[in-house]
Chain A
Amino acid sequence: DAKTTQPTSMDCAEGRAANLPCNHSTISGNEYVYWYRQIHSQGPQYIIHGLKNNETNEMASLIITEDRKSSTLILPHATLRDTAVYYCIVRSTVKAAGNKLTFGGGTRVLVKP
Chain B
Amino acid sequence: NAGVTQTPKFRVLKTGQSMTLLCAQDMNHEYMYWYRQDPGMGLRLIHYSVGEGTTAKGEVPDGYNVSRLKKQNFLLGLESAAPSQTSVYFCASSYSIATPVQNEQFFGPGTRLTVL
Residues of chain A touching chain B, judged by Cβ–Cβ distance below 8 Å, are 32, 34, 36, 41-46, 49, 87, 91, 93-95, 98-106
What are the residues of chain B within 8 A of A102 when measuring CB–CB? 45, 59
Starting from the known contacts A93-B98, A98-B48, 6 additional A-B residue pairs (CB-CB under 8 Å) come to A34-B104, A43-B107, A99-B94, A99-B105, A100-B33, A101-B105
| Residues in A neighbouring B96, C-beta threshold 8 A | 95, 99
- Once the chains bind, are A32 and B43 in contact (CB under 8 Å)? no
| A49-B100, A98-B48, A98-B56 as given contacts; A103 in contact with B105, CB under 8 Å | no
**Interface size band for B:** 20 to 34
**CB-CB nearest 3 A-B residue pairs:** A43-B107, A103-B42, A46-B104
Known: A43-B108, A98-B31. A93 touches B45 (CB 8 A): no
User: Measured between alpha carbons, how far is A46 from B92 in the docked complex, in Å?
Assistant: 11
Interface check B41, CB cutoff 8 A? yes
Closest to B109 in A: A43
Most buried by A among B48, B94, B100, B109: B100
Q: How far is the CB of A24 from chain B (nearest CB, A)?
A: 15
Q: How far, in whole Å, are A101 and B43 apart by their CA atoms in the complex?
A: 9
List of A residues within 8 angstroms of B108 by Cβ: 43
Question: Which chain A residues lie closer than 8 Å to B31 at the CB level?
Answer: 98-99
Contacts of A44 in B (CB 8 A): 43, 90, 92, 105, 107
For window 1-36 of B, CB contacts with A under 8 Å fall at 4, 31, 33, 35
Question: Is the CB–CB distance between B33 and A104 below 8 Å?
Answer: no
Q: Tell me the smallest distance from the CB of B28 to a CB of chain A, in Å.
A: 15
Return chain B residues, CB-CB under 8 Å to A49: 100, 104
